[in-house]
Amino acid sequence: MAPNSDWQEGNAKGEPGSSLHGVTGREPVFQMTMETVGEKEATDLKGRKFALPVDSEHKAKTVRLYSVAAPHMRTFHLSWIAFMICFFSTFAAPPLMPVIRDNLGLTKVDIGNAGIASVAGAVVSRLLMGTICDLVGPRYGCAILMMITAPAIFCMPLVSTPVGFILVRFFIGFCLATFVSCQFWMSSMFNSKIVGIANGTAAGWGNMGGGIVQLVMPLVFDIIRRDIGSEKFTAWRIAFFVPGVLQVMMGLLVLTLGQDLPDGNYAELKREGEKVNDSFQKVFLYAVTNYRTYIFALTYGYCFGVELTVDNIIAEYFYDRFDLNLQTAGIIASTFGLMNLFSRPLGGVLSDVVAARWGMRGRLWNLWIIQTVGGVLCIVLGLTGQLGPAIAVMLIFSFFVQAACGATFGVIPFISRRSLGIISGATGAGGNIGAVTTQGIFFMSSKYTTEDGIMLMGIMIVACTLPVIFVHFPQWGSMFCPPSKATEEDYYISEWSKEEQSNGLHHASMKFAENSKSERGRQSPPRSKEETVVVDGV
Amino acid sequence: MGQSLLCGAWVLFALLSFVDATVLFSTLPRTLAVEDEIQNQVPAMGLAKAGDDHLVIRWVLNATAQEAAAPGLDASYEKVSLKLCYAPVSQVERGWRKKNDDLHKDKTCSKAIATQKYTSQGNSTVWRITKDVPGAVYFVRAYVLNSNGTQVAYGQTRNLITIEPISGRHASIDVAAAIFSAFSVGSLIFFLALENMRGRRSSGSK
């Protein structure tokens, strides 16, 4: 199998904005060559020209946010909007909780269980989604998930018992796996140098759904009560048709307008023989035997998991502690999720900026500092008893917690090249497990008041971020330890057996290793004997 | 210097008296006797349906309190505010209904029934249980307010009533939910089948 010589178009000069090669980055490992064409003549399989400049894999080399040109930018917008709507649906109940808890006679334990249920389903669905995207493509994965979970949203207006409420929130929560399809899709459409920004922006804007919903649902509830004249206990039920209808519409749009790869859909490409798959067992093995997978699953549980937890509790917290009405509590709660507009992308960008100077060690320090500061601010939030200061602290806290999410995915792509998909899925699942655990311990029973729960959650964030100290890359070092004499090639080739190497299957990883030398930071001496020309020396 | 300081303190004190002083429930005398009675559509002991049934509430100045206390006890009584309050059994595991001695923070009595002018002969009111009352066990409490609106005394019913809430569901909502769900799954299957057919046709023609 001939290696594709300009597969990555890298020149290993530590370009900024290699803001890390994407999240799921499940670019097919042994991609057969697309014709090597000049930019001007790039066409897809059907001979149509691309609107954006593309590389040899026909992945876009820029992101033009204002454009909806097929296939790249259209995918970007379809993908992040679909993810945003899923977030919207999953967190549609919390802003209306003061009404729902009265209608259904819920206790604090019931509300806590429902919150846990809403994020627990996605633990499994996120793990499965990576494989589903591999098999049938992200377009089908995303659309099928959205349209299958929409009936669960329509079941919410029919709920009349606490158990029913918990079950419905559980099934709605499955759609959070669109995170994986979103990132997978971005990685298929955007060149590795910019896929980080594309992914971070798409993920951040998707997460905003958790904020937008806190604004929209109380508003819709109010309109239904005032203008249609429904009773409170009926109005909230009607309000749930909004997320349901949006999700169905979006699922249809994804099906009709979306496209799996720049050149076409999976089914067509499989028939043409353009797509080949790696061995699932091997990919799974290398993910499971890498200790860094577990550390980042844990730490992501305490930035993204905390974000999910706060999405679930914050509106009710402001409503109860500060005696606000539903709309005001919703507006304040929404600002938490809306900060994602820039805080998550900025977290990734910060990671890049720091890496340009200090390499991977800088990224690890960056992540640890941002997430720990977030934890401290969470403690402060729980202790703040006045409304104005509480809002201010919450805003700053939201920035740090979301930036930590972005910064985490600045490191993930370097853990493994072969198993990137599964590791990203595992990290995402870890985020949801963190949300389940945190809600279970601190926000379930009346043992802790909500403000105490928030404060204790902050302490747990600080504690669970400490394991970042133990992440060590032999070729780049860790927070406190310098690198050894190992090289990037040594690290990434260890994922391929001798037999696979003799078949030339490892060439893509070697290309990646070459490009990843930027993670040494500036002014680090070349370490391997074979290197003559200094890779960075920038 | 000392005099102006004293003067300032006095002004501050005077101003503070306009601020709502914290009223502690435990300090309020129970001088009213309150009774309630359910007027059901369908007779049921102690059970009332939100939206359908009525509550008749009677309150009067407690006879024993009237005798024992000095005349002029009710000189400051201006208004009586009747409220529907959660019984302790409905407050368990629900922090948003929690009892607090500080009446500003107390969440026991969240539903206002009526406010009437105080008369020593007492009064009564008939209240239709509104549809937004949650299902729980309740009692009725009457707060006596002075001209500032602060509570100065109270009275409450001795028996408890259970209110059954409306479900909030309607047949039309159920039908709409079913239709939308069917549309969602149906259109998905339709599109998948369509693409499958198109795919087979194009590979068949190759």
Per residue in A137-176, pLDDT (tens digit) is 889 999 999 999 999 999 999 999 999 999 999 999 999 9
Predicted pLDDT at A23: 44
Q: Which candidate, A274, A248, A249, A250, places its Cα nearest to that of A261?
A: A274
Per-residue pLDDT band for A270 (boundaries 50, 70, 90) equals low
Q: Tell me which chain B residues have a C-beta less than 8 angstroms from the C-beta of A150.
A: 180-181, 184
Taking CA A229 as the corner, what is the angle to CA A226 and CA A234, rounded to the nearest 5 degrees?
105
State pLDDT tens for residues A295-353. Answer: 999 999 999 999 999 988 998 899 989 989 888 998 999 999 999 999 998 988 888 88
Phi, psi of A56 (to 5 degrees): -70, -20
Give the ranges where B28-125 is alpha helix by DSSP (H).
63-68, 88-91
Contact yes or no for B58/B180 (Cβ under 8 A): no
pLDDT of B48 strictly over 60: yes
User: What's the pTM?
Assistant: 0.81
Q: Do B199 and A268 touch (CB under 8 A)?
A: yes
- Could you tell me if B66 and B100 lie in one domain? yes
Instruction: Please tell me the distance in Å from B67's CA to the nearest CA on chain A.
Output: 41
Judged by CB atoms closer than 8 Å, whether chains meet at B134 and A103 is answered as yes
The per-residue pLDDT of chain A, averaged, comes to 83
pLDDT recorded at residue A430? 92
Asked if B159 and B193 sit in the same domain, the reply is no
pLDDT, position A523: 60
Beta-carbon separation of B166 and A450 below 8 A: no
pLDDT of residue A212: 93
Closest to B166 (Cβ–Cβ): which among A150, A231, A245? A231
Cβ atoms of B53 and B83 within 8 Å: the answer is: no
Interface of B with A in 60-99 (CB under 8 A): 92-96
Look at residue B69 and tell me whether its pLDDT is greater than 70: no
Tell me if B173 and A109 make a contact (CB, 8 A cut-off).
no
The answer to whether residue B5 sits within a structural domain is no
* Position B164 pLDDT exceeds 50: yes
Cβ within 8 Å of residue B181, ≥6 positions away: A150, A151, A154, A155
More confident residue, A264 or A532: A264
In which order are the strands placed within the sheet that holds B54-61?
A: B32-39, B54-61, B123-128
Nearest CA distance, A204 vs chain B (angstrom) = 27
B109 and B124 share a domain? yes
- Whether the upstream peptide bond of residue A413 has omega within 30° of 0, thus cis, is no
Residues in B closer than 8 angstroms to A320, CB to CB, are 95-96
Contacts of B46 (CB under 8 A, 6+ apart): B38, B159, B160, B161, B162
B160 and B70, same structural domain? yes
- The alpha-helical segments, DSSP class H, found in A16-161 are 72-90, 97-104, 108-136, 138-155
Q: Tokens 């530590």 correspond to what residue?
A: A14
Residue pairs spanning A and B at CB distance below 8 A:
108
Amino acid at A304: F
Contacts of A383 (CB under 8 A, 6+ apart): A451, A455
Q: CA A183 to CA A25: how far, in whole Å? A: 8
Position A303 scores a pLDDT of 93
Instruction: Note whether B74 and B133 are same-domain residues.
Output: yes
Non-local CB neighbours of A227 within 8 Å, separated by 6+ positions: none
Report the residue from A151, A237, A238 with minimal CB separation from B181: A151
pLDDT surpassing 80 at residue A179: yes
Contact at 8 Å (CB) between A130 and A184? Answer: yes
Q: Please, which residues bridge with residue B139 across strands?
A: B85
| Domain tally, chain B | 2
Asked if B195 is an interface residue toward chain A (Cβ–Cβ < 8 A), one would say: yes
- pLDDT cut 70: percent of chain B above it: 83
A150 vs B167, B168, B181: nearest CB: B181
> What residue in A sits closest to B191 (Cα-Cα)?
A255
Does any CB of chain A come closer than 8 Å to the CB of residue B115?
no
Q: Strand B161-164 and strand B47-49: pairing?
A: parallel
* Residue B173 pLDDT greater than 90, yes or no: yes
Smallest CA-to-CA distance from A409 within A262, A166, A197 is with A197
Question: pLDDT tens, A67-109?
Answer: 777 788 888 999 999 999 999 999 999 999 999 999 999 999 9
**Which tokens hold the place of A346?**
């900025």
Query: Cβ–Cβ of B180/A148 closer than 8 Å?
Result: no
pLDDT given at position B31: 84
pLDDT for res A265: 79
Nearest to B51 by CA among B128, B111, B126: B128
For residue A260, list chain B residues with Cβ-Cβ distance below 8 A.
none
Query: Per the CB < 8 Å rule, is B168 touching A231?
Result: yes
Cα(B154)–Cα(B43) distance, integer angstroms: 30
Judged by average pLDDT, the poorest of A57-61, A121-125, A195-199, A417-421 is: A57-61
Please report the pLDDT score of residue A129 as a whole number.
Answer: 85
| pLDDT tens string A477-491 | 999 999 988 888 888
Mean pLDDT over each residue of chain B, to the nearest integer: 84
Residue B63 sits in the same domain as residue B87: yes
Q: What is the pLDDT of residue B10?
A: 59
Q: How confident is the model over A368-373, as a mean pLDDT?
A: 96
CA A295 to chain CA centroid, nearest Å? 17
Does A186 have pLDDT greater than 70?
yes
Per cent of chain A over pLDDT 90 is 48
Best of B164, B188, B206 to disrupt the A interface by mutation (most A CBs within 10 Å)? B188
Query: With an 8 Å Cβ cutoff, is B176 touching chain A?
Result: yes
With an 8 Å Cβ cutoff, are B188 and A98 in contact? no
Can you tell me the distance from the alpha carbon of A184 to that of A424, in angstroms, rounded to the nearest whole number? 10
Q: Based on the fold, state whether residues B91 and B182 are members of the same structural domain.
A: no
Residue of B nearest to A248 (CA): B184
Chain A residues within 8 A of B181 when measuring between CB atoms: 150-151, 154-155
pLDDT band at A6 (very low <50, low <70, confident <90, very high): very low
Contact B180 A245 (CB under 8 A): yes
Question: CA-to-CA distance for B59 and A40, rounded, in angstroms?
Answer: 89
Closest chain B C-alpha to A471 CA, distance in angstroms: 42
Closest residue of B to A243, CA-based?
B180
Encoding tokens for residue A42?
Answer: 């790039």
CA distance B192 to chain A (A): 9
Both structure tokens of B143: 């707060």
Amino acid at A502: S
In a domain? residue B115: yes
State both tokens at A472.
Answer: 């060590």
A389 Cβ contact list (under 8 Å, min separation 6): none
pLDDT digits (tens, 9 = 90+) for A288-300: 899 999 999 999 9
- pLDDT surpassing 70 at residue A356: yes
Residue in this structure with the two tokens 């047949």, named with its chain if needed: B171
Cβ atoms of residues A211 and A75 within 8 Å: no
| Rounded-to-integer distance, Cα A252 and Cα B8, Å | 71
pLDDT: which is higher, B32 or A273: B32
What integer is the mean pLDDT of B176-202?
A: 91
Per-residue model confidence (pLDDT) at position A28: 40
B191 lies in which domain range?
A: 168-198
pLDDT tens sequence across A416-461: 877 877 888 888 889 999 999 999 999 987 788 899 999 999 999 9
Helix ranges, A291-342 (H): 291-301, 304-321, 326-338
Query: Rounded distance, CA A120 to CA A116, Å?
Result: 6
Fold of A280-522: Growth Hormone; Chain: A; (1.20.1250)
Residues of A in contact with B184 (CB under 8 A): 147-148, 150-151, 154, 248, 251
Same domain for B177 and B144: no
Please list every residue in chain B whose beta carbon sits closer than 8 Å to the beta carbon of residue A255.
188, 191
Residue B6 is predicted with a pLDDT of 67
The CATH number of the domain holding residue B100 is 2.60.40.1930
Q: What share of chain A is helix, strand, coil (3-state, %, to 5)?
A: 70, 0, 30
Contact with chain A for residue B160, Cβ under 8 A: no
B31 and B102 inside one domain: yes
Read off the DSSP letter of residue B42. S
CB atoms within 10 A of CB B198: 11
Q: Where in chain A is the domain with CATH 1.20.1250.20?
A: 67-263, 280-522
Nearest to A351 by CA among A404, A273, A424, A418: A404
Yes or no, beta carbons of A234 and B169 under 8 Å apart: yes
What does the alpha-carbon distance between residue A136 and residue A145 come to, in Å, rounded to a whole number?
A: 12
Domain match, B152 and B174 both = no
- How far is residue A271's CA from residue A275's CA, in Å, rounded to a whole number? 9
Verify whether the Cβ–Cβ distance B134 to A154 is below 8 Å: no
- B81 and B172 share one domain: no
* CA A35 – CA A160 distance, rounded (Å): 60
CA distance A464 to A446: 24
Determine which of B84, B110, B184 to mutate to test the interface with A (most A C-beta atoms within 10 Å): B184
DSSP secondary-structure letter at A496?
S
Tell me if residue B38 falls in helix, strand or coil. strand
Whole-number pLDDT of residue A171 = 96
| Residue B153 at interface with chain A, using a CB cutoff of 8 Å | no
Q: Of residues A371 and A181, which shows the higher confidence score?
A: A371
Q: What does the pLDDT read at residue B2?
A: 64
**ipTM above 0.85?**
no
| pLDDT value of residue A515 | 73
Residue A527 confidence (pLDDT): 52
Of A103, A147, A268, the CB nearest to B168: A103
Same domain? For B85 and B156 the reply is: yes
pLDDT at A42: 62
Contact B132 A232 (CB under 8 A): yes
Name the fold adopted by A67-263.
Growth Hormone; Chain: A; (1.20.1250)
What residues have CB less than 8 Å from B49, skipping those under 6 apart? B40, B41, B42, B129, B163, B164
Test the A interface: residue of B99, B162, B180, B198 with most A CBs within 10 Å: B180
